[in-house]
Amino acid sequence: MTSPTSNPLLDFTGLTHFDKIAPDHVEPAIQYLLEDAQRTIDALAQAGTPATWDDFVIPMTEATEHLGRAWGVVGHMHSVMDTPEWRTAYNKLLPEISRFFAELGQNQGVYEKFHALAKSTEYARLNGVRQRIIDHELRDFRLSGAELPDEQKPRFKEIQEALSSLAAGFSENLLDSTNAFAEYVTDEAELAGLPEDVIHAARAAAEKEGKDGWKFTLHMPSYLPVMQYADSARLRETMYRAYATRASEHGDGKWDNGPLMGKILALRAEEARMLGFESYAELSVVPKMADSPAQVLAFLNDLAHKAKPFAERDLAELKAFADEQLGMREMNPWDVAYASEKLREARYAFSENEVRQYFPEPKVLDGLFGVIESLYGVSLKRDSAPTWDPSVTVLRIERDGQMIGQLYLDLHARETKRGGAWMDSARSRQMSRGRLLTPVAYVVCNFSPPVGDKPATLTHDDVTTLFHEFGHALHHLLTEVDEVAVSGIHGVEWDAVELPSQFMENFCWEWDVVSGMSSHVNTGEPLPQALFDKMVAARHFQSGMQMVRQLEFSLFDLRLHHEIEADAPVAAETVLKLLDDVRKQVAVLIPPAWHRFPHSFSHIFAGGYSAGYYSYKWAEVLSADAFAAFEEAGQGKHSLLDRATGERFWREVLAVGGSRPAIESFRAFRGREPQVEALLRHSGMLETTA
């Protein structure tokens, strides 16, 4: 048996030894922790263990906390350093981890202990936070199959293991198919319209492979500028087709996610039926704020009704412009982003690339830190700790000289890193054997890296993404709850977890914030007020089209998990047909028939958003209304960075984490129920749409 002192994955005394851990540490460390946790759980489930908080719940929590933390490191490395060695190590242990937690969710002895504690006289004496933890445990046991007949439990475990494996496969197929494509341009004329930094990056990518010309890939820092700026319709079409058909039958069959989607949907439907639900969507909303799929559908349909007229107006304007100014009698799908950027430039006299030059990464980070420090009275400082890549930064958050949390910041795209942006927990705040462990988080993005001796520059969308992920991180790091089950982001309803992140995005549109974090990468000049005014004027540019696109994804996800009866693996054609039906209802842009969006929809097939993608819009109502409190406090003042309101937001929303229902936290902060008007106003949709 591996001893705790010889394996860096088993050292929990401080931050992870990213300079020492290697893929061959994974199996011995995780096996050790699995066996150790299982021994503890077996002992706690015995009749002789008193069903009390101190005798049962605390050791029960400790039994799985180290396992979860170590496996979190492995999962993190699988996401940010997806080499063949790390992928093999992760996938080898994934079935065992899935099996362990599936069996724990059905452990009758542990379930009966929680049930006995809930019925005991001690339960009434526990504080509300601990009562909520027990209530959640009982709910989660029911959803994990603890109340199933014994003969059904093995099948339920098989489903959990299979779903974990299929989700990992979906994500890996998407990354591999993305990495497999490259377009090499040798005719310099095809580079017309592209920003200089994108051209330099493409040239460097080709040189790295010993090739002539310029290399373009499907990773966002390369793909998106081509779609927005390349004058070459041939190049745009080539890139669009490759991106739209990733991980599908149109490419290498070994990466086709179609069969995986079908199996995932069938297994989720079977799981839901076993637990007594009509659909997986009904199961999904049980731990969320929403009461039912019907309530969510009504919410989404109402927003779609309000937004679609604006989307139709946006599209009509774009088509007219493309026809009259760009000579596009028919606007192809690969023309939309290009024509939109040209329209934005014509209407508001600026381009995203022009704005980008004013947002060098170091200056943006300083501005972001300034917002956080102004709102909450904390300080962010550079820290030193081992990391998995030289570009990763470590930060510490302090208040009154005391460290309250730490953060890993990994901002740049790499070939071994999955796409997108996310925040994850590395360690939760908790009391451990009388000692307070402060929380640690990861913030991961895929921004363009620096080229040459200049710092990386961010688009305004990148800046917004960074603020968004930091909102999640602050939710995790500024918690004041010591119980790990509801500390930080844990225990927060999934359709409320986006509140703090979307809330932070609003500050990216405030002049006192933006002016302080801008500095032209060449001249050092701050962003001109006139250019910022144009950005604000353009804020609602195509907001109708953007909203119906998000509603399309949300409705597709919910209906997919609520309406399709999956007694067997669902055919990809069935999935695509449902998506077509949703698009007829809400979309104004209909992609080509060969487009395979579902095959890359990792949020619902490989992430935590299955039957929950609506959470973005649901939480956006909350976040827009929460930000309105700062707008009200800042009326007549130079800045919305109001410390008193910030302190109240920290106290009532961030500090409490999942220790009480999210709607109670919102009411405590806002003093009333949430209202949709702030979201409509921020989206430019308060005028009459009838």
Positions annotated as catalytic residues are 469
DSSP run (H or E) holding 87: helix 84-105
Show the DSSP H helices in 286-396 as ranges: 293-326, 336-348, 352-356, 361-376
Close Cβ partners of 29 (under 8 Å, ≥ 6 residues apart): 2, 7, 9, 10, 70
* Residue 398: strand, helix, or coil: strand
Q: Which of 526, 518, 419 is nearest to 177 (CA)?
A: 419
Q: How far is CA 634 from the centre of its chain?
A: 30
Q: Which of 517, 501, 511 is nearest to 539 (CA)?
A: 511
Are the C-beta atoms of residues 411 and 456 closer than 8 Å to each other? yes
Show the DSSP H helices in 518-661 as ranges: 529-537, 543-562, 572-586, 602-605, 615-633, 643-649
What b/e sequence results for 252-276 when a residue is b if at least 16 CB atoms lie within 10 Å of its CB, and e otherwise?
eeebbbbbbbbbbbbbbbbbbbbbe
Are the C-beta atoms of residues 462 and 445 closer than 8 Å to each other? yes
Close Cβ partners of 452 (under 8 Å, ≥ 6 residues apart): 200
Residue 333 corresponds to which amino acid? Answer: P
- The C-alpha atoms of residue 280 and residue 217 are separated, in whole angstroms, by 36
| Rama region for 188: left / alpha / beta (φ>0; ψ in -120 to 50; rest) | alpha
- The C-alpha atoms of residue 57 and residue 115 are separated, in whole angstroms, by 12
- The C-alpha atoms of residue 578 and residue 571 are separated, in whole angstroms, by 11
- The C-alpha atoms of residue 621 and residue 141 are separated, in whole angstroms, by 31
308 to 295, 581, 683: CA distances (angstroms) = 20, 16, 13
- The C-alpha atoms of residue 637 and residue 551 are separated, in whole angstroms, by 36
Are the C-beta atoms of residues 19 and 394 closer than 8 Å to each other? no
Residue 557 corresponds to which amino acid? Answer: D
